[in-house]
Structure 1
Amino acid sequence: MGVFSSVLLAIVTLVSLVYFYLRQKHAFWKNRGFPCKPNPKLLTGHLDPAVHGAYVNQELYHYTKARGERFIGISFFFMPLVVICDLELIKTILVKDFAVFHDRGMYNNPQADPLSGNLFSLDGQEWRTLRQKLTPTFTSGRMKQMFGTMLQVADRLREVLGAADQKTSFSAGREMKAVLARFTTDVIGTCAFGIECNSLADPDSEFLRYGNKVFQHKLSTMLKFIFIMMYMETAKRLGIKGTDDDVEAFFMKLVRETVEYREKHNVQRNDFLNLLLEIKNKGALSEPGHDGATGDGGSVTGTEHGMTMNELAAQVFIFFLAGFETSSTTMNFCLYELAKNPDIQERLREEINGAIEANGGQLTYDVAMNIAYLDQVINETLRKYPPLESVNRCPVRDYTIRGTTHVIPRGVLVQVPIYAIHHDPEYYPEPERFDPDRFTEEAVKARVPYTFLPFGEGPRICIGNRFGLMQVKVGLITMLRDFRFHPSNQTPDRITFDKNIAILSPSMGNYLHIEKL
């Protein structure tokens, strides 16, 4: 046999082995008699790389309900995954059986990848311990302390939009997605790091550049992600990092230098970093209004455990990421809908102005957080455009689904399709119509529970949702008090999502005409 024939035979043999290996992977659910969707693609399973995951899960959701099933097994690339469509089962997984489903199944390897050791990604007791320490940082009292700082950034947003009003034509409009990303970058930079990012003044700021980089997935990043999710333990043993080296270097250096400066000069600020420093040095936060002193002058002793610099940096990192893109896209989607629905915009503006006037013309934390129609508008935005289209949980042991004999094996991802539920006409008639009245007090009470999950649910609900909502409210109040927003000739009839970004983000800019009031 010649060399060419030998090489050809080797290639054919290898391809055949890979083919049968993948086919066996895709038969995971069928071999177990588990309800599953047939005909997975060889390399991508039931995913469609050409569209956003929200649309894929929506199709799976409707397919499952049409079959009368409560759940379905699919192939995520060639990894088994369960999509849950039944609301009672969702409640069971997120709340009732949380002891089994307390992990997200996210990759974390703090030894090799320090920034992965954050609250969002950690599992088990590590997550539980950290959650207990961080929960007091997001109380309403702590949020009030940051409110004034947020208003200062909002004043700069007002100036930027005022300048935009003079420069843009009615037809062309101003691109709002980028402006709002700059606003949230400055808010997070100030409230998390105590640093002036100046993104509103400088669109090329380092903060904004590195924040955007985390959410922009190149092909190489996606391939690494697939490998990590498929072979998580192997990835940990190999020391593979989910965070790019330059992103890690930027945030680690920033946090280290800021912490060293504050501790050297005893700097105290009403921001997230200051609260983390208290946890780092004392093991826990003191109650607001108390000095939190311990018997030895505030050092960590006994059973208390503070934070290492790497642990602290990881929490600041996830705080920045969680508040940066999700809040800016929520405001962006909201402005898009308000521009398309001028009657809703006018009513909201009247409600905002009325609430502030009733408080002597002062915008305070309590005023901002208690404008009922603003809550309705934001909730309808979060219904139609939830920041995360789904949430994952991962059982720590084999789990038999209640009322069935079907078993979800330990370590297999379970997915709750939030976007699909939010767009189910059974719960929200005409789901593509923007209608804040879906969230009146009466409408909410009448609706089936677990049909509105923008922040997840249960003990692992988003810990920073109060901060995120405050940021969105301050931004919207600031803009709507001084400006009216209209569609431009570049405003799409319907928003499509960028398939390369995990969270819901528009695939094109949001060009709106800004009218100064």
Structure 2
Amino acid sequence: MRTSLSPTFMSTGKLKRMTPLILECVDTMNDTIDNIIASSNGILSAPVDVKRVTGAYAMESTIQMTFSRKVSALDDPNNPIIENVRKIHKNSLLSLVKLSTIMLAPYVARMLRISQFDSKVTQFFSDFTLNLIDERKRVSETESAVKKVDFLQLMLDSMRDNNNQAIDGSDDYTDSKGGEKYGEIRATAGMRDKGLSHDEIIAQCVMNLISGYDSISATISICLYSIAKHPEVQQTLYEEINTFYEQKKSMADIYESLNAMNYMNAVVDETIRLYQGSKIERIPSVDYVLKGTGITIKKGHVVQIPTYAMHRDPANFADPEAFRPERFLPENKAHNPYTYLPWGAGPRSCMGMQMVKWLVKLALVSLVHRYVFHTTELCSSN
């Protein structure tokens, strides 16, 4: 599945084609904030819950990128797509028990047919996705059909073409100290006839909505919180973004221009370093001996990599508790690449990394250019 999905997630060309869809959601987010400010006659009389605004942007943009469906998470909360996405993310005692059983006793979960998600939610997305697939098949038969550019369509194209082409615009990952070089997993002879089934397409669409929403909304919110606590960082970031707006000639070069903004990239990386999840898990498919240690990791054993601790270890990052984006500027990077693992590394790294970072940066470049962010008194005292 990864060989079919990687070009969808990791191709810079495909992200560029999806950018107009995301920019529509950025405009909606800005309109929401403008309306909040206007309702206070231009002076905010009470704190604004930024997470609510960025959460709406994350939901709208992931739905747009997945299905090319324009929705308004704040103005139309009863939209069936939004309702069911929210049900996926809704936490309850029952959902916690289900998830715990699946993680701690997978054989019991399979025997009892326990699913993490409500059956009505999975049925909704199954029916919705299959109807979209049928609709696009009918439309594609007409001469005037305009092909969609979204996650679903790219998977359908992969299913049809089944060409497993190399990923355009992606680079091999190199460990600068160990010299180990990794590329994306390539298709073997036995994989080349493997297309995606409808069930796999549905599952990946739902997974895109789940993983994208949380990571995007949380990263933007915490990033804004961090620069609000550090006005000097916010000012430096604003100056870089302002230069970007002055120099940008058209939307055609926005991808290269945004990725060349070293300070904004550093702010995002530093935010993720400080606030990323606690660990990464991997399971080896064969026995593996760690070089120079004599330690053998047995096939099937779960290996936990404590990323939170690694990211805050002074042996890896000087003054690790401090928010210092400068440490990620190209001229200042001094850490071993394997001490910074928010996305994993090597051939099993997160496929959605480029997509999430692109959605985050498109939001940040607009937000910081238009508004000044301050913490509330409560946040300032913490």
Q: TM-score, normalised by structure 2?
A: 0.84
C-alpha displacement of 1:360: 3.2
Distance 1:303 1:466, change over 3 A: closer
Equivalent residues of 1:172, 1:488 under 8 A apart: no
Among 110, 113, 134, the residue aligned to 2:5: 134
Matched residue, 1:515: none
Matches within 5 A, 1:225-236: 225-236=99-110
For these two proteins, the number of residue pairs brought into alignment is 351
Deviations 1:264-284 (A, max 9, x none): 111511111111111222324
Deviations 1:384-413 (A, max 9, x none): 111x32110123355555555665554332
Matched residue, 1:327: 216
Among 48, 73, 76, the residue aligned to 1:199: 73
Matched residue, 1:166: 38
Amino acid at match of 2:304: Q
Distance 1:390 1:208, change over 3 A: farther
Amino acid at match of 1:319: N
Are 1:281 and 2:153 matched, yes or no? no
Are 1:149 and 2:10 matched, yes or no? no
Separation in 2, partners of 1:364, 1:419: 33
Separation in 2, partners of 1:284, 1:457: 25
Matches within 5 A, 1:360-371: 360=249, 364-371=254-261
C-alpha displacement of 1:203: 4.2
Among 345, 355, 371, the residue aligned to 1:467: 355
Deviations 1:355-393 (A, max 9, x none): 22122375722222221111011111111111x321101
Distance 1:397 1:176, change over 3 A: same
Separation in 2, partners of 1:455, 1:421: 13
Matched residue, 2:89: 215
Equivalent residues of 2:7, 2:167 under 8 A apart: no
C-alpha displacement of 1:326: 0.2
Any stretches of 5+ residues in structure 1 without a counterpart? 1-129, 290-301, 495-517
Amino acid at match of 1:479: L
Matched residue, 2:122: 248
Matches within 5 A, 1:116-515: 130-137=1-8, 138-168=10-40, 170=44, 172-266=46-140, 268-284=147-163, 304-360=193-249, 364-386=254-276, 388-397=277-286, 403=292, 408-444=297-333, 446-491=334-379, 493-494=381-382
Equivalent residues of 1:157, 1:200 under 8 A apart: no
C-alpha displacement of 1:491: 3.1
Separation in 1, partners of 2:226, 2:335: 23
Deviations 1:170-218 (A, max 9, x none): 4521101011111011111111111112214334544444334333432
Amino acid at match of 1:370: A
C-alpha displacement of 1:221: 2.2
Separation in 2, partners of 1:172, 1:198: 24
C-alpha displacement of 1:240: 2.5
Equivalent residues of 1:185, 1:207 under 8 A apart: no
Separation in 2, partners of 1:174, 1:350: 24
Matches within 5 A, 1:25-44: none
Amino acid at match of 1:215: H
C-alpha displacement of 1:478: 1.3
Amino acid at match of 2:360: V
Equivalent residues of 2:163, 2:192 under 8 A apart: no
Equivalent residues of 1:334, 1:381 under 8 A apart: yes
Amino acid at match of 1:313: I
Equivalent residues of 1:352, 1:481 under 8 A apart: yes
State the percentage of identical aligned residues: 29
Separation in 2, partners of 1:408, 1:288: 31
Deviates most, 422-431 or 250-259:
422-431
C-alpha displacement of 1:343: 1.4
C-alpha displacement of 1:310: 0.7
Bigger-Rg structure (1/2): 1
Any stretches of 5+ residues in structure 2 without a counterpart? 169-190
Separation in 2, partners of 1:420, 1:211: 32
Amino acid at match of 1:443: N
* SS of residue in 2 equivalent to 1:364: helix
Distance 1:288 1:415, change over 3 A: closer
* SS of residue in 2 equivalent to 1:485: coil
Separation in 2, partners of 1:146, 1:238: 41
Distance 1:488 1:415, change over 3 A: same
Equivalent residues of 2:317, 2:335 under 8 A apart: no
C-alpha displacement of 1:250: 2.2
Separation in 2, partners of 1:287, 1:401: 30
Amino acid at match of 1:467: M
